[in-house]
Every structure is written in C-alpha cells, then in structure tokens.
C-alpha cells in the first residue's frame, strides 16, 4: 500500500474553498501540541485565543480595527501576486504613507486649518505609498532587479526615516523626550463610527476597497489582464497584454493601499506618529492574502481571522502569560499550512494497492 499524490485533470474548486479551513485546522492541532510543550493547558489557551475575543464588544471592535490595515494591504498585495509581481515591502509602503500623511498633520498642528486636512492626508499618504512601491517596480522593469529583494530592503529605509523624524524634527516639544509627534488635531483624525468606541471610518474604506477589488478582478478586462499575466505570461503577451505595465500598475496600487492603511492607522487608533505603529501589518498581510486565496472576499475573512489571532494573543499573554511571540509562530505555521494545502487544489491523495489495482486495470 502506498500513498501517492496524483494530478487532477482540473483544479478543484471545492478544495480551493476548503483548503484554508484545513490549514487552520492543522495549525490549531500544531498549536495545541505547542501549548502542551510550553506547559500551558491547551484548551484554555485556545479558548483565550479564539473564543474570548469574540465574546465582548470591545474585542469585537478591536478585531475590526486590526483587520482594517491587514485587509487593505492584502488586497493590494493580492493584485501584485496575481500578476506575478512579488511585493514583499508593503510594511515600508505602510510606514511611508504614515509619514507622508503625518507631515500635513504636523504642519497644520494648532492652526485653524479646516476639514480639508484629513482628505489631503489620505491622498498624500496613498501617493507616497505608490511612489515608494514604484522604486522596486521600476528597478524590476528597467534593470531586471529582483523586486522581492528591493521591496524588502526598502522596508528598513522607511522604518529608519520614521525613526529619525519622530526623534528629530517632528518630536513633540511637550512630549517628555519620547520619540513621538504631538497628538493630531481633530481635523487630522479619522472619525470613529460609534461615539466612545474604537471602530473608525477606515473600516468602511477597507470594505469599499474589497468591493472595488472584487469588481476589478471579476468583471473588468484590466482584472483579467492581471490574472493572465500571472497565470500564463506568454499567453498574456499573445493576448496583447504588457506584463511590465502591469508590474508598475499593481505595485503602484498596492503601495497606495498600504500607504492609505498607514495614515489611517496613525490618524485613527494611534492618534500620533511614533515608532512601532505597525506590529508587522505589512508582513502579516502576505499571510492574509494567501489565506484568502488572493480573492477579495477571502481576504476580508482571512483579515478578520488574523486580527483575531492578534487580539487573542494579547489576551493569552495577559491571562496565561503566553509570550506574544507565540502569535507570530502561529501566523508562520498558518502560512506554511496554507501553502502546503494549496497543492491539494491541483493534486489529490490516493491510496494505491499495486497488485489489485493492476488486476482491475487489465480487466
């Protein structure tokens, strides 16, 4: 008896939907073992991770708040990945967007600037994110430089730029020397949806982005171009689609969305610019994009799920003293299983009994 991986004649749509669930299941099993090894009660730990955050209103809002940047970034990344352009630097584009938008907020601080401030911040952040993402895209198209490396390296440039600004020119004079800008004025702040709550306008924007991406990919010729260029480059060229143009376009869009997510995070839940505004949103969004099958609706669900692990991780740390890094381990294992389970879309497992099988084949 033998277990073989056998190619399917056509991709299985059922498995395409179920595979993320299998991956989540396997991740939970692995985490259970890990908790047991750490000497924690696995059931309580899982309860803290996945159930507790869903039981109170504050946590539910917080999940939506965390999911907002993840979903927005992941939507942009999914466009890149579908077009076979590997933007790994969303974290940097997120930070640059936050910096560029904050520039307006800092410059108008304490003046009686009107309601134009926030829209201009959003536009500027998106533009900055897009321009920043265009650096690796243009290097790729013009010089053939690996966009994986260049986009990743630019993350550290953005990180250090932000660090310099909040420790230097933009530091709050009344901030007791903490590396942070002053809290933004109300006109430079993303409004909350429920008075006294945490849920903010950014979540609505994220939903609009999901809807727009679904229409783009499902109904328009541009979305079709993106999919063909990634799936079959030579056929795309035969179809008259220009792969280089799409690398530029998808990088720009994903950079813009990451930049937008950056300023929404700073001008929303955080309220000022400081180092550490992102617990790795730009990287976690890569997991969200793949867990969501590079599909806009899938990404929305995956973003909420990953947000749950962030919140659950915090709760587990508070309640059971499980280190916060376990959350990152969790996310890494999850990505691993997602990619592994994806092979089941094109392949299936089969038990082979060599002798009997052949007897049937011959007969």
Residues of the shown chain interacting with other proteins in the complex, contacts defined by CB under 8 A = 6-7, 9-11, 219-222, 224, 227-228, 231-232, 234-240, 350, 354-355, 357-358, 361-362
Nearer to other proteins, 142 or 234 (CB): 234
In angstroms, give the least distance from the CB of 279 to other proteins.
Answer: 36
Whether the Cβ atoms of residue 320 and residue 40 lie closer than 8 Å to each other: yes
d(CA 308, CA 312): 6
In the complex with other proteins, which residue's Cβ is closer, 142 or 360?
360
Assign residue 293 a region: left if phi > 0, alpha if psi is -120 to 50, beta otherwise? left
Neighbours of 245 (CB within 10 A): 12
Q: What is the separation, in whole angstroms, between the first and last Cα of the chain?
A: 20
Beta pairing partners, 5: 349
User: Half-sphere exposure of 62 toward its Cβ, with a 13 Å CA cutoff?
Assistant: 16
Smallest distance from other proteins to CB 218, Å: 9
Residue 227 Cβ, how far from other proteins at the closest point, in Å? Answer: 7
From residue 118, alpha-carbon distances to 72, 81, 196, 271, 346 in Å are: 18, 31, 20, 13, 47
Nearer to other proteins, 211 or 318 (CB): 211
Write down the least CB distance from residue 222 to other proteins, Å. Answer: 7
Nearest to 254 by CA among 71, 68, 99: 71
Nearer to other proteins, 11 or 107 (CB): 11
Provide the minimum distance between the beta carbon of 84 and other proteins in the complex, in angstroms, as a whole number. 12
The stretches of 86-145 forming alpha helices (DSSP H) are 90-107, 117-143
Residue nearer to other proteins on the CB measure, 57 or 239: 239
Least distance in Å: CB of 6 to other proteins? 5
CB of 191 to other proteins, least distance (A): 33
258 and 282 in contact (C-beta within 8 Å)? yes
Residue among 56, 11, 4 at smallest CA distance from 315: 56
Give phi and psi for 291, each to the nearest 5.
-60, -35
Nearer to other proteins, 222 or 328 (CB): 222
Within 10 angstroms of residue 183's Cβ, the number of other Cβ atoms is 15
Nearer of residues 196 and 354 to other proteins, judged by Cβ: 354
Min dist CB 220 to other proteins, Å, is 5
Helix (H) or strand (E) holding 318: helix 296-320
Give the residue with the Cβ less far from other proteins, 233 or 275.
Answer: 233
- Which residues share a beta bridge with 200? 192
Q: How far is the CB of 342 from other proteins (least distance, A)?
A: 13
Alpha carbon distance 348, 209 (integer Å): 35
Nearer to other proteins, 176 or 349 (CB): 349
């Amino acid at each position: 008896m033998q277990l073989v991986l056998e190619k399917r004649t056509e991709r299985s749509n059922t498995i395409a939907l179920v595979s993320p669930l299998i991956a989540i299941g396997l991740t939970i099993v692995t985490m259970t073992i890990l908790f047991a090894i750490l000497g924690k009660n696995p059931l309580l730990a899982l309860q803290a991770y996945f159930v507790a955050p869903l039981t109170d209103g504050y946590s539910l809002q917080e999940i939506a708040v965390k999911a907002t940047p993840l979903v927005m970034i992941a939507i942009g990344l999914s466009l890149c990945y579908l077009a076979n352009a590997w933007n790994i630097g969303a974290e940097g584009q997120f930070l640059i967007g936050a910096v560029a938008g904050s520039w307006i907020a800092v410059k108008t601080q304490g003046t009686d600037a009107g309601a134009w401030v926030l829209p201009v911040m959003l536009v500027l952040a998106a533009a900055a994110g897009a321009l920043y993402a265009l650096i690796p895209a243009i290097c790729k198209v013009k010089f053939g430089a690996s966009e994986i490396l260049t986009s990743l390296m630019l993350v550290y440039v953005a990180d250090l730029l932000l660090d310099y600004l909040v420790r230097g020119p933009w530091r709050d004079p009344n901030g007791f020397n903490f590396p942070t800008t002053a809290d933004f004025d109300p006109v430079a702040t993303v409004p909350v949806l429920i008075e006294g709550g945490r849920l903010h306008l950014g979540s609505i924007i994220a939903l609009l982005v999901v809807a727009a991406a679904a229409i783009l990919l499902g109904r328009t010729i541009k979305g079709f171009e993106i999919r063909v260029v990634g799936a079959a480059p030579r056929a795309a060229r035969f179809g008259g689609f220009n792969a280089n143009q799409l690398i530029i376009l998808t990088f720009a869009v994903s950079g813009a969305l990451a930049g937008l997510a950056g300023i929404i995070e700073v001008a929303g839940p955080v309220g000022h610019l400081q180092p550490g505004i992102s617990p790795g949103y730009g990287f976690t969004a890569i997991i969200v994009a793949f867990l969501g099958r590079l599909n806009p609706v899938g990404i929305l669900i995956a973003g909420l799920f990953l947000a749950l692990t962030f919140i659950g991780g915090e709760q587990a740390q508070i309640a059971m003293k499980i280190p916060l890094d376990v959350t990152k381990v969790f996310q890494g294992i999850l990505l691993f299983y997602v990619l592994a389970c994806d092979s089941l879309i094109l392949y299936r497992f089969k038990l082979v009994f060599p002798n009997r099988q052949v007897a049937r084949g011959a007969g």
